[in-house]
C-alpha cells in the first residue's frame, strides 16, 4: 500500500516544472475553444506541447490500479456539458453554448503535474456561467485551507459549503489526491466532508484539489466506454483543479504562474 510522502523544497520545484507544462497546455487549448474546433484537435495540441517540453503525458494509456478498464486513449480528458470527468477527446465539433472541462497531467524529472479548467464555447447560459464561477471559487476557498496543522476535512468542507450554498451538487464518486512521483498518491482529498476531520496537513505534502460541481444531482453514471462519467440527470457539470504544496509559509499553487 502506498504511503504518504512529503516533498523537499527541491522536489517541489521539480513538481512546479511539470505543472507549468500542464498550465501551458491548458492555456493553449482554452485559446482553441471556439465553435467548430474538436476536442481531438485539442488533444493533439496538448500532446505536441508536452512532448516538445521533454515530458510524458500521464493520462495516455493510464489504467487505475486493480481495474480492468481499457487504457485511457488520450493525453487530455475532455469533458463536455453533462460529462463530469474522464471524457475521451473526439472529432465532434464544439458548438456555441457548450462548456468544456479539460484535465491534463504530465511527468518530467520523475515528478508529475496535474490541473484542470472549465471554459465556455461562445455564449453560454447564465446558469452555466454561475456553475463555472462557483466551481472555481470552491477551488480558491479550498486552497485557503491548505495550511500546516489544518486537516483534509477543512478543505473538503470549504468546497461543499460554498457549492451547496449556491444550490449546486458536489460529486462524491471522484476525489482529489496526493501527487508526486506518480499521478495518484495518498491521501484522498474529498470535495465534501466535515471541518476538523481527516489527516493533518503537514509541510511538504503536495495534493491535487479538484472540485467537481453539478447543476443538479451529484449522482454519477459511467458510460459503456468505462471512462466517461456523466451526471445521472444529464445536467451540467464543471471541474477545476490545481496541484498545491503545503509549506510553512502557506499554500503554493504549483499549476499557476
139: left (phi over 0), alpha (psi -120 to 50) or beta: alpha
- Would you state the torsion angle of the CA atoms of residues 39, 112, 228, 232, taken in this order, to the nearest 10 degrees? -120
CB 37 within 8 A of CB 52: no
Residue 112 confidence (pLDDT) above 80: yes
d(Cα 151, Cα 173) in Å, to the nearest integer? 20
Cα→Cα distances 230→56, 103, 184, Å:
28, 15, 21
pLDDT value at position 65? 84
Domains defined for the chain, CATH in brackets: 9-251 (3.90.230.10)
Q: Residues 85-114: what's their mean pLDDT?
A: 98
pLDDT tens per residue across span 25-54 = 999 999 999 999 999 999 999 999 999 999
pLDDT at residue 67 greater than cutoff 90:
no
Where does the chain have alpha helices with state H?
A: 9-31, 39-52, 126-143, 152-165
Whether 216 shows a pLDDT value over 90: the answer reads yes
Predicted confidence (pLDDT) at residue 103 exceeds the cutoff of 70: yes
Does the structure show a pLDDT above 90 at 142? yes
Q: What are phi and psi for residue 157, nearest 5 degrees?
A: -65, -35
Contacts of 149 (CB under 8 A, 6+ apart): 200, 201
Find all residues with CB under 8 Å of 248, minimum gap 6, and list them: 148, 203
Cell of 227: 471512462
The three grid cell numbers given for residue 143, joined into one nine-digit string: 486552497
d(CA 95, CA 240): 21
Average predicted confidence (pLDDT) for the chain:
97
Cβ atoms 105, 49 nearer than 8 A: no
What the block records as the C-alpha cell of 94 is 464544439
Task: Compute CA 180 distance to the chain's CA centroid, rounded to the nearest angstrom.
Answer: 15
- pLDDT of 1 reads 62
User: Strand, coil or helix: what is 185?
Assistant: strand
Amino acid at each position: 500500500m502506498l504511503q504518504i510522502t512529503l516533498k523537499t523544497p527541491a522536489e517541489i520545484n521539480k513538481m512546479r516544472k511539470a505543472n507549468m507544462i500542464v498550465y501551458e497546455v491548458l492555456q493553449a487549448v482554452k485559446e482553441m475553444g471556439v465553435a467548430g474546433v474538436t476536442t481531438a484537435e485539442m488533444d493533439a495540441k496538448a500532446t505536441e506541447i508536452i512532448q516538445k517540453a521533454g515530458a510524458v503525458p500521464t493520462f495516455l494509456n493510464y489504467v487505475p490500479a486493480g481495474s480492468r478498464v481499457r487504457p485511457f486513449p488520450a493525453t487530455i480528458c475532455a469533458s463536455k456539458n453533462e460529462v463530469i470527468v474522464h471524457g475521451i477527446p473526439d472529432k465532434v465539433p464544439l458548438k456555441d453554448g457548450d462548456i468544456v472541462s479539460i484535465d491534463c497531467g504530465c511527468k518530467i524529472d520523475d515528478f508529475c503535474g496535474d490541473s484542470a479548467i472549465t471554459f465556455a464555447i461562445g455564449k453560454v447560459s447564465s446558469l452555466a456561467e454561475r456553475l463555472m464561477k462557483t466551481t472555481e471559487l470552491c477551488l480558491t476557498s479550498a486552497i485557503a485551507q491548505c495550511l500546516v496543522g489544518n486537516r483534509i476535512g477543512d478543505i473538503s468542507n470549504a468546497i461543499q459549503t460554498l457549492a451547496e450554498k449556491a444550490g449546486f451538487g458536489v460529486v462524491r464518486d471522484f476525489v482529489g489526491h496526493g501527487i508526486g512521483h506518480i499521478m495518484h498518491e495518498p491521501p484522498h482529498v474529498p470535495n465534501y466532508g466535515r471541518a476538523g476531520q481527516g489527516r493533518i496537513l503537514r509541510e511538504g505534502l503536495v495534493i491535487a484539489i479538484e472540485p467537481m460541481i453539478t447543476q443538479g444531482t451529484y449522482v454519477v453514471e459511467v458510460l459503456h466506454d468505462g471512462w466517461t462519467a456523466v451526471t445521472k440527470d444529464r445536467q451540467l457539470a464543471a471541474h477545476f483543479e490545481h496541484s498545491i504544496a503545503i509549506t510553512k509559509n502557506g499554500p503554493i499553487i504549483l499549476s499557476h504562474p
